[in-house]
Chains A and B, each alone.
Chain A
């Protein structure tokens, strides 16, 4: 059974700091991995999708890496800003795929202080 864990559950940093959010999964046979952002009271915004054949993806100040063999992904945020404050979720498709079911981690709630 696939389980996704995110550490830490919460993080508070001063503005400008670089930071890393961690995501681990128990079954390494994943098809892809997605990182999402959720603002309070709102839906999810997709940040990055990494295919299983890729090792990393970059979008602006965000860089996500994937190490399937160790069951880990990290989301690196450079030069954090107060606007980055949100909950960050990682998710993988259930089983070998061919299903809409994403397994989500519990999320890391980030607060960036001005």
Chain B
């Protein structure tokens, strides 16, 4: 079946612009996660959605970052007033019901802020 998809695959933007990254989870997966991977660094957790519960936003690095999810479908990660340090690969993952399940990752969106 279809896996997790993300768009765009690459995004180049100018410092100060807003960007939106999209994630389509595996159909039927109620849990969705966003991570960031900066060059030469490990994966950083950003945010976790689980069903209709309030999202775990503990990993968002600043108030310029926000994410939404409509029901159990698409999620968007928005970065406002982008900075060069936001350049990274943004990875989305989904799992069947919760954090206890295997997480399936998308291919990522490579964001470059000039």
B residues near A (Cβ < 8 Å) are 4, 31, 33, 35, 42-43, 45, 47-50, 56, 58-59, 91, 93, 99-100, 102-108
Q: Number of residues in A with C-beta < 8 Å to the partner?
A: 25
Q: Are A97 and B103 in contact (CB under 8 A)?
A: no
Q: In the complex, which residues 82-114 of chain A have their Cβ closer than 8 Å to any Cβ of chain B?
A: 89, 91, 93-94, 97-107
Known: A94-B45, A105-B42, A107-B42. A43 touches B58 (CB 8 A): no
Q: List 30 contacting pairs A-B, 8 Å CB cutoff, sorted by A.
A: A31-B100, A34-B103, A43-B91, A43-B106, A43-B107, A44-B43, A44-B93, A44-B105, A46-B105, A93-B100, A94-B45, A97-B99, A99-B48, A99-B56, A100-B31, A100-B33, A100-B45, A100-B49, A100-B99, A101-B56, A101-B58, A101-B59, A102-B33, A102-B35, A102-B99, A103-B45, A104-B42, A105-B42, A106-B42, A107-B42
